[in-house]
């Protein structure tokens, strides 16, 4: 009974009075490899004389080995072979008895061809999308009602939780925001410098950096980093809480999910994101300034002076204004998807992915909307 026992074998020999199928070794689940092939090759040619299964040399047999053998015995039977069994050990007999106790039922027929029907697939997709949309509206409604109530009773606001989430989503994200926005400033300055040098218009690199970073790039890049970092975290946190039934526990204790979990996250991100955008503005311009200094011989004081003269403050305000909108989208989608997680672990991964993809798409779409509306307004 050690792991050095020989694996299962099957010897097929033809004698005058019959086919002798001699099994030997360890007929247990993990050691059957060598007999699967020989068993499968048994066929009609064996039916010309009696088939004798000899199990006397089998060391051990378990239910997997037994069922494998029975499977092929039934197959030979259906081909019309005459069979008998010799040398059954006590173990084998006990297993056969066990099998008699638990007759295996035929499996229920699998549902037919549903999966490849494109119409069914389309129908499922549309209905699923519609249900998603309705659920999202319900979520928004609940959130809005909670917000209104909180406005009436400001003492219900979970200030501690908000502060905690500002720290998690905002302050802890500063290193990565610093890095990305600095690099964005560097890239813009480099690309701009090459083109502007052709016209001898070096100085205009300041306008380019000042406007593009504050108005468009800093808000967008920051929001995308936050969507990947915080949006996914919100979904995963709420999803795990749902799986471990913490959400249900909170509900039965009368702690409304929206007041305790959702609203603090949304408000925290709406406060943190504009601040992060402001920070990204500064770092992005700094990045551009460094490149302009090294590459275009523009001194820091000249750069700052020019920035103050040409970059209208409205660009900066527009950039900041986008912050709360982006934050609302990211946090709302993150929380909504988190609460959609069902009870299996795989759905956490699925909904976290969906959440980030949705959030990034919505942020870019929202930015496009801002662009069109503000330009039409002449701002």
Binding site for other proteins (CB under 8 A): 3, 28-30, 32-33, 36, 40, 62-64, 67-68, 71, 91, 94-95, 97-99, 101-105, 107-108, 342-346
CB 78, CB 43: distance < 8 Å: no
Residue among 62 and 256 whose Cβ is closer to other proteins: 62
Closest approach of Cβ 344 to other proteins, in Å? 4
Q: E-assigned strands of the chain?
A: 9-15, 18-27, 51-61, 83-86
Q: Decide the pairing of beta strands 83-86 and 9-15.
A: unpaired
DSSP assigned state of 20:
E
Burial of 136 (0-12, 13-18, 19+ CB in 10 A): middle
Closest approach of Cβ 99 to other proteins, in Å? 7
Closest approach of Cβ 96 to other proteins, in Å? 11
| Residue found under tokens 């069994």 | 85
Closest approach of Cβ 129 to other proteins, in Å? 23
φ/ψ of 112, rounded to 5, equals: -90, 135
Closest approach of Cβ 206 to other proteins, in Å? 55
Which residues have C-beta within 8 Å of that of residue 278, sequence separation ≥ 6?
320
Residue among 95 and 223 whose Cβ is closer to other proteins: 95
Residue among 37 and 118 whose Cβ is closer to other proteins: 37
Residue among 98 and 138 whose Cβ is closer to other proteins: 98
Residue among 2 and 301 whose Cβ is closer to other proteins: 2
Residue among 202 and 347 whose Cβ is closer to other proteins: 347
Closest approach of Cβ 235 to other proteins, in Å? 17
As given in the structure block, the two tokens for residue 376 are 């039409």
Q: What is the largest CA-CA distance in the chain?
A: 109
Reported as half-sphere exposure (CB side, CA atoms, 13 A), residue 367 has a value of 21
CB 91, CB 60: distance < 8 Å: yes
């Amino acid at each position: 009974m050690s792991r050095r026992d020989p694996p299962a074998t099957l010897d097929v020999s033809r004698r005058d009075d019959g086919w002798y199928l001699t099994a030997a070794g360890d007929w247990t689940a993990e050691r059957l490899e060598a007999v699967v092939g020989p068993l499968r090759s048994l066929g009609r040619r064996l039916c010309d004389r009696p088939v004798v299964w000899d199990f006397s040399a089998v060391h051990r047999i378990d239910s997997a080995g037994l069922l494998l053998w029975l499977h092929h015995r039934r197959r030979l039977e259906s081909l019309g072979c005459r069979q008998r069994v010799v040398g059954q050990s006590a173990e084998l007999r006990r297993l056969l008895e066990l099998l008699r106790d638990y007759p295996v039922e035929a499996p229920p027929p699998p549902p037919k061809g549903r999966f490849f029907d494109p119409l069914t697939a389309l129908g499922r997709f549309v209905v699923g999308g519609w249900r998603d949309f309705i659920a999202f509206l319900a979520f928004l409604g609940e959130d809005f009602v909670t917000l209104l109530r909180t406005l009436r009773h400001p003492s219900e606001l979970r200030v501690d939780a908000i502060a905690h989430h500002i720290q998690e989503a905002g302050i802890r994200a500063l290193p990565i925001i610093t890095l990305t926005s600095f690099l964005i400033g560097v890239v813009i300055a480099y690309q701009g410098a090459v083109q502007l040098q052709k016209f001898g218009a070096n100085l205009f690199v300041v306008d380019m950096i000042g406007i593009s970073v504050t108005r468009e790039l800093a808000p967008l890049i920051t929001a995308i980093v936050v969507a990947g970092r915080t949006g996914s975290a919100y979904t995963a946190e709420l999803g795990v809480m749902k799986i471990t039934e913490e959400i249900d526990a909170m509900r039965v204790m009368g702690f409304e999910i929206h007041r305790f979990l959702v609203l603090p996250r949304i408000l925290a991100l709406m406060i943190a994101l504009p601040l992060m955008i402001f920070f990204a503005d500064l770092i992005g311009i700094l990045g551009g300034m460094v490149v302009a200094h090294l590459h275009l011989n523009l001194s820091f004081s000249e750069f700052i002076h020019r920035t103050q003269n040409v970059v209208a403050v409205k660009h900066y305000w527009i950039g900041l204004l986008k912050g709360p909108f982006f934050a609302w989208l990211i946090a709302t989608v993150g929380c909504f998807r988190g609460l959609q997680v069902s009870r299996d672990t795989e759905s956490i991964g699925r909904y976290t992915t969906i959440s980030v993809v949705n959030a990034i798409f919505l942020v870019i779409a929202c930015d496009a909307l801002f662009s069109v509306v503000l330009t039409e307004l002449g701002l």
